[in-house]
């Protein structure tokens, strides 16, 4: 069903709005709306429409993205307009969809909206980064001690692998699985009777 908005001195977010639920982290929201004029209405010079994505509980929320269009002068013509916003890994509040017209003093502004579509697409979170520094390996008491510091985000897992033979096929053994916390870490591995050991540090 189409929505008709009339604006005198209305603002960018003074219009029809709907709360579509809590914002999701790491998500791209795409709002697409057909803006134009019905066949029984001639917009004249002041046809216009604004679509917005807001963060809040009503049309007074924080504007995340918006697109303003000029309504075609011919009747019965609609064009799709899109507003896009991608959230970060930490979000609060709800997503508000708002359809409005922005008026100017002494003018009468009007726009028709139709076929409102909102899609949500998950995006990959930022990959963890390697520890900022590795200390020089230390051999002590038959153990190899490997240390490092840094690494984000917290809770990202790392794995130490080892092998005693670099000839194909190489068989790697998991020595330790840990979790980066952004601070220093230290792991000790028994070398045993092996004269040579090779290690790999693996991040997801």
Task: Domain of residue 160: give its range.
Answer: 133-202
User: In this model, does residue 202 exceed pLDDT 70?
Assistant: yes
* Position 128 in a domain: no
* Position 34 in a domain: yes
User: In this model, does residue 95 exceed pLDDT 90?
Assistant: yes
Q: 151-179 pLDDT, tens per residue?
A: 766 666 788 888 888 888 888 888 788 77
Q: Kindly state whether residues 16 and 87 are assigned to the same domain.
A: yes
Q: Kindly state whether residues 69 and 37 are assigned to the same domain.
A: yes
Q: Kindly state whether residues 7 and 97 are assigned to the same domain.
A: yes
Q: Model confidence at 49, in pLDDT bands (50, 70, 90)? A: confident
Residue 186 or residue 204, greater confidence: 186
Q: Kindly state whether residues 9 and 73 are assigned to the same domain.
A: yes
- Final residue belonging to a domain, choices 97, 122, 147: 122
Total structural domains within the chain? 2
* Position 82 in a domain: yes
* Position 127 in a domain: no
Distance CA(50)–CA(66), nearest Å, equals 7
Distance CA(108)–CA(35), nearest Å, equals 17
User: In this model, does residue 65 exceed pLDDT 80?
Assistant: yes
Q: Specify whether the backbone of 3 is left (phi greater than 0), alpha (psi in -120 to 50) or beta.
A: beta
Q: DSSP letters of the chain?
A: --EEEEESS--TT-EEEEEEEEPPTTEEEEEEEEEEE-TT---GGGBEEEEEEEEESSTTSEEEEEEEEE--SSTTEEEEEEEEEE--S---SEEEEEEE----TT--EEEEEEEEEEEEEE-PPPPPBPPSEEPPPEEETTEEEEEEE--BSTT-EEEEEEES--SSSP--EEEEEEE--SS-EEEEEE-TT-S--EEEEE--
User: In this model, does residue 150 exceed pLDDT 60?
Assistant: yes
- Final residue belonging to a domain, choices 87, 122, 157: 122
Q: Kindly state whether residues 14 and 97 are assigned to the same domain.
A: yes
* Position 189 in a domain: yes
Mean pLDDT for the stretch of residues 53-70: 88
Q: 101-141 pLDDT, tens per residue?
A: 876 666 667 778 889 999 999 987 666 676 667 788 888 88
User: In this model, does residue 182 exceed pLDDT 60?
Assistant: yes
* Position 71 in a domain: yes
- Final residue belonging to a domain, choices 67, 87, 122: 122
* Position 20 in a domain: yes
* Position 9 in a domain: yes
Q: Kindly state whether residues 7 and 104 are assigned to the same domain.
A: yes
Q: What CATH number should be reported for the domain holding residue 63?
A: 2.60.120.260
Q: 7-29 pLDDT, tens per residue?
A: 555 567 777 899 999 999 999 99
Q: Kindly state whether residues 112 and 161 are assigned to the same domain.
A: no
């Amino acid at each position: 069903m189409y929505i008709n908005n009339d604006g005198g001195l209305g603002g960018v977010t003074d219009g029809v709005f709907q709360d579509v639920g809590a914002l999701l982290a790491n998500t791209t929201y795409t709002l697409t709306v057909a803006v134009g004029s019905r066949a029984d209405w001639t917009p004249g010079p002041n046809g216009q429409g604004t679509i917005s994505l807001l963060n809040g509980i009503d049309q007074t929320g924080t504007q995340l993205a918006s697109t303003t269009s000029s309504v075609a002068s011919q009747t019965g013509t609609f064009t799709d307009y899109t507003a896009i916003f991608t959230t970060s890994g930490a979000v609060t509040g709800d997503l508000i969809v708002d359809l409005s017209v922005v008026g100017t003093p002494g003018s009468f502004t009007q726009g028709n909206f139709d076929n409102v579509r909102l899609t949500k697409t998950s995006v990959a979170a930022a990959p963890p980064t390697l520890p900022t520094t590795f200390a020089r390996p230390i051999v002590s008491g038959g153990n190899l001690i490997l240390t490092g510091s840094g690494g984000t985000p917290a809770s990202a897992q790392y794995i130490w692998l080892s092998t005693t033979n670099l000839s194909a096929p190489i068989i790697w053994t998991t020595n330790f699985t840990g979790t980066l916390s952004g601070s220093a870490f230290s792991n000790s591995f028994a070398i045993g009777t092996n004269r040579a050991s090779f290690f790999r540090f693996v991040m997801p």
